[in-house]
Structure 1
Amino acid sequence: MVNALKTLVKNYGFDEASSAQLKQVADCVSGALETAFDPFEALILSQKDVLAQLDDVAVLAGLRVAQKQHWLNLLSQGLDVQYAASVQTLSQIYFKQLRLSEELVMAGYAQAATHMQTALIERAGIFASKKRLAREAGLLLRAFQLDLGVIIDTHQAAERAVKERAVAELEQAMARMACKDFSKDIQPPEEGAYPEALERVRQAFNTLQSNMRSVIKAIKYATDDLKLTASEVNDGADDLARRTETQAATLERTSRSLSEISGSVQGAADVMQRTDQMMRQTHAQAKTGQDVMVETVGKMREIAESSMQVSQITTVIDDIAFQTNLLALNAGVEAARAGEAGRGFAVVASEVRSLAQKAGEAAKEINELIKQSSEQVESGVELVDQAGVVLEDILVGVEKVANLSADVAQSSGAQSEGLTDIAQGISQLDGVTQQNAAMVEQTAAAVGSMLRDTAQVSEMVRGFALRSADEDMPVEIFASTRAA
């Protein structure tokens, strides 16, 4: 730093002569150094933010002493090693302890320089050489400007050094990160070279790196879990594809079987419809037969009534024959009484009697035949009545069978329609199953692609170096990855 100060002194126009004159000025204004810091101190105390950060008021008292000694060294001894040390001290107090801004320090120095120039002019008096006074005032002002520049440069150099150390540490850490090494954090100032002034940057970087470790670890766990899940899904997709193909084949066979059954049921429905028509025809014929039977029973009853009338007629004929026989018998008796004269009449009476007997016998035979015929007619009527009852029962049965046949025909038609709907549904289901099979194949292909991508991500994550303390990832991080 001393060499840099020598160069700076030369740039500000200080040589041995001017340095000797500056020492004379110092002897002249040394008394004013006691109060030169007063306006600077007042300016510092007017800053509320500075006072709020000031932990100890004694710092200002120490600054007053150090500042006076520093200015005395500047004016009387020049820019030597002792001056360089005091510059470091003042820079530390200004910018580290009091945290003053450069603008505030420059303003304080301007007021202090003005105070010293005023003291120089007052000490010289009205009889002093104006040329000499101007030269001495210029030397004094240049000295304060030089001192201010050195202090500011020292502060800025220290700030640059701090930033350079911080940048160097950050560069090393980022280089490790670029090499996938997240195992080391930037050490704190008490353990490493990182400056305390930028501690928040270090903490933020370490937090970022810790979060990156957590993210990488979470990705590692997630990819491993995803790989396992994808493998299971892939196995399930393959099994589902096989079962879907089997189901599709089964549905296809079922569809064909249902089509055949539907055709058979449709044929049965057609047969039942024809059977229903035949049963209705049979029912109509049975109804006609019943009507004929009823008419036949009526005719038989009329025949029975006619037989009864004939029987009555034969009874009358039998009575007439009996009366005729009596008359013939009386006529024979009378003819016998008449003797020879009644012999011819007796013969006639005998013939009439013979005819009457034959007519009576014939009437009895006819009556007997009519009786037998009546009995047979009665028996026939009973049989016809029984046949009518049986035919009526048959008619009722045929009607029931016809109704059942109609119901069966209707049910067969409904079954045929239902089977047709089922066949169509199964056909649609077969189409959907085929689509599902295609989707399952696409899913299997997508899962296979996901497995490959997961393997690539897992391979990438496996290359990162993490701290051993991070091997057991926090539960909440792993849970969040699983939930995602």
Structure 2
Amino acid sequence: MGKNGNTQTISKFALDGEQKKDLVTAGKLVAPKLDEVLEFFYAFAKSDQEASGFFKSQDSLNHARGAQKRHWELLLSGEFSDDYFKSADTIGRVHFRIQLPFDLYLAGYARATSFIQEMLSQQFGATYTPMARKRMVRLLGALNRAFAMDSYQVIDAYFAAQREEQDTAFRYMTEGIQRMSERDLTQPIPSPEESDFPARYDVVRTSFNTLMDSMGGVIGTIQDSAANLSSSAGEISDAAEELSSRTETQAATLEETAAAVEEITASMKQSSGATTETSSLAREAQGIAEEGMAVASDAVEKMNEISSSSDQISQIISVIDDIAFQTNLLALNAGVEAARAGEAGRGFAVVASEVRALAQRAAVSAKEIKDLINVSSGHVDEGVDLVSKAGEVLERIVGHVKRVTELSSDVASSAQEQFTGLSEINTGVSHMDSVTQQNAAMVEQTTAATVTMRQDTRVLAELVQTFQVTGAAQAGRPAPTAGGWEQEQPGPEASAA
């Protein structure tokens, strides 16, 4: 409070002008008794359990007593100098620092004032005249107003210190909240040891810093998660695009495969029919080969019969040859005999000659026939061998044809099974083609959704990146304990109220 304010306060409490003189007069009467007043004042302080807690030792009580005496001396001097107002301001600030309750302070002042009034009344008691009584009333009134103003000054300093402390705390809190509103979570409110932040509000500071650290942790986690999510979304988006491309390619390939399988199924169906027909033809060929084998067997048998007949004919020709030979001998003998007979046997000789010629011709013919029969027999033997070989070949052909028939039957059965399997595969491939087409559509939808998620994630990441956060929150320190009168420091300059 400035000088003008102090002057106004003095005037409000009627302690200027003539009233000031009354205070000076009363002060001169009370000053010699101040030690007695202080003894009474601090006797109350020591006897009260709550009040005594503010004095840790006799030294602290003596220190407070001395300071209070000097202050009252300044008050009772009636000068109301800067020293007095500084002293009142110091007392009020000390009361605030140690959180002295108002009731204790006012009760002590009331007791001290009453004690001073009794002392002053006793001094006027011996010469109690109306004029003296009037003078006593003026002096007591001046004392009452002085102590009331003093209480006001101390309490005003108390509240001023409280406002300053609150303003300091609110300034730090406001700055911190302002930084938070600007998305800066890196600057916690410093502790009372590191700044002028009031220790009395350290719980609020600690709570604020804890909140900021928690928010920083959450924002940091969101930032990391957003970055990871953005990266994952990018990977998912790229994978979805690649999957979409592959799915489209797979769908096209599967469609071509379905068409190819359908063609193979149709071809397999034709092959199955052809294989069935081949099996039937093989069975017919087997029957024809078996018939040929039977014919060859009959031919071999007939050739053997021809060979036997040729042998019989050869035997007959041999007989004819013998007969021709005997006939020739007989004709020769007949010719000899006819020659002996002379003219009589000439006709017989001619006949014998003709018979001989016929016998020779029969022998030649028989020889030729025999040679032909021998040649025919050779040919028949060769024919028999060839027919036998043909029979063996036909038998082998029949065996192979039979094997071919069995294989053709197996192939036909396998072809039918393959046709059935390919038909099922064709159905499955067609279903897969349909499912792949649906998957391709779903992949396109997923790709679109992933692109949207990637954009949203980018927006979220950009939003949380605007926050500035620290790695760890600063922990608040415990508030210092309240001090007593012995911790009193030189009071600050009087501040404007």
TM-superposed deviation, 1:288: 3.6
Counterpart contact for 1:39–1:108, Cα < 8 Å: no
Q: Does 1:31 align with 2:32?
A: no
Cα deviations across residues 424-473 of structure 1 (Å, max 9, x unaligned)?
Answer: 454344334323332332233224434554565577679x6x8xxx7xx9
Counterpart contact for 1:109–1:144, Cα < 8 Å: no
Which position in structure 2 is the counterpart of 1:286? 289
CA gap 1:233/1:316 in 2 versus in 1, 3 angstroms: same
C-alpha separation between the residues in 2 aligned to 1:291 and 1:58?
151
Counterpart contact for 1:318–1:363, Cα < 8 Å: yes
* More divergent stretch after superposition (139-148 vs 228-237): 139-148
TM-superposed deviation, 1:275: 1.0
Which position in structure 2 is the counterpart of 1:377? 380
Q: Does 1:440 align with 2:438?
A: no
CA gap 1:183/1:321 in 2 versus in 1, 3 angstroms: closer
AA aligned opposite 1:393? R
Counterpart contact for 2:176–2:189, Cα < 8 Å: no
CA gap 1:238/1:188 in 2 versus in 1, 3 angstroms: closer
Counterpart contact for 2:293–2:391, Cα < 8 Å: yes
AA aligned opposite 1:31? E
TM-superposed deviation, 1:391: 1.4
The alignment's TM-score, normalised by the length of structure 2, stands at 0.58
Counterpart contact for 2:38–2:65, Cα < 8 Å: no
C-alpha separation between the residues in 2 aligned to 1:118 and 1:189?
46
Q: Does 1:159 align with 2:162?
A: yes
Q: How does 1:34-433 map to 2 (within 5 A)?
A: 34=39, 36-37=41-42, 40=45, 43=49, 59=60, 61-70=62-71, 84-96=85-97, 100-102=98-100, 106=103, 154-171=157-174, 174-175=177-178, 178=181, 180=182, 182=184, 195-197=197-199, 198=201, 201=204, 241=244, 244-305=247-308, 308=311, 374-406=377-409, 408-409=411-412, 412-413=415-416, 416=419, 419-420=422-423, 422-433=425-436
C-alpha separation between the residues in 2 aligned to 1:40 and 1:153?
22
C-alpha separation between the residues in 2 aligned to 1:431 and 1:59?
97
The alignment's TM-score, normalised by the length of structure 1, stands at 0.59
Counterpart contact for 2:27–2:76, Cα < 8 Å: yes
AA aligned opposite 1:382? D
Q: Secondary structure at the match of 1:37?
A: helix
Matched-pair identity in %: 36
Cα deviations across residues 358-392 of structure 1 (Å, max 9, x unaligned)?
Answer: 9x979989877765654443232112111112213
Cα deviations across residues 241-288 of structure 1 (Å, max 9, x unaligned)?
Answer: 456445433432332233123211321232122212321331233234
RMSD: 6.6
Give unmatched runs, 5+ long, in structure 1.
331-345, 478-484
Which position in structure 1 is the counterpart of 2:342? none
TM-superposed deviation, 1:66: 2.0
TM-superposed deviation, 1:230: 6.2
AA aligned opposite 2:91? L
C-alpha separation between the residues in 2 aligned to 1:4 and 1:116?
20
Q: Secondary structure at the match of 2:388?
A: helix
AA aligned opposite 1:383? L
Counterpart contact for 2:93–2:157, Cα < 8 Å: no
Which position in structure 2 is the counterpart of 1:342? none
C-alpha separation between the residues in 2 aligned to 1:289 and 1:234?
77
C-alpha separation between the residues in 2 aligned to 1:230 and 1:199?
44
AA aligned opposite 1:66? A
C-alpha separation between the residues in 2 aligned to 1:321 and 1:296?
36
More helix by share: 1
Counterpart contact for 2:91–2:154, Cα < 8 Å: yes
CA gap 1:157/1:39 in 2 versus in 1, 3 angstroms: same
Give unmatched runs, 5+ long, in structure 2.
127-132, 334-347, 473-497
How many pairs are equivalent?
434
TM-superposed deviation, 1:31: 1.7
